[in-house]
Every structure is written in C-alpha cells, then in structure tokens.
Amino acid sequence: MTTAQLDWSLMIECPNCKEDIDLASGDYDDENFIASAIFSNRWDDLRGHEITCEKCNHEFELESVEY
C-alpha cells in the first residue's frame, strides 16, 4: 500500500506591497474557513473575505478564486 500526501496552497498577491500570501497557511486560515470553503466546492463563500497582509498591514478583500 502507498500513502498519498496532499499539499495545497491558495496564493494571492497583496495589492499594496506585492507580497505573495498563502491563504492556506495557519496564520491566514487558523479557523479553517478557507480550507472548508475550498474543499467543499464553495469557492464563492470566499468572495469578500477580508485579508490583512502581514508584511504591510494593508487590508483588502478577496474577489474570487480561480483554478
């Protein structure tokens, strides 16, 4: 038997400082809201989700998720 490993990320660029942000990381998804929406095929639930860039503290909203 062989075991598979799932690695995932959800990358977005901060519109202010251009830093790449992984929304799948614990810092951005500590309550598993993002993971739950992605893995339940409810991507539209993320529209308007507020994000604060850890590098520059800029706040912005997620418009959509593309695959």
- 67 residues of the chain, pLDDT tens digit each: 999 999 999 999 999 999 999 999 988 999 999 999 999 999 999 999 999 999 999 999 999 999 8
Query: Which string of DSSP letters, residue by residue, matches 10-40?
Result: -EEE-TTT--EEETTSTTT-TTSHHHHHHHT
Report pTM. 0.86
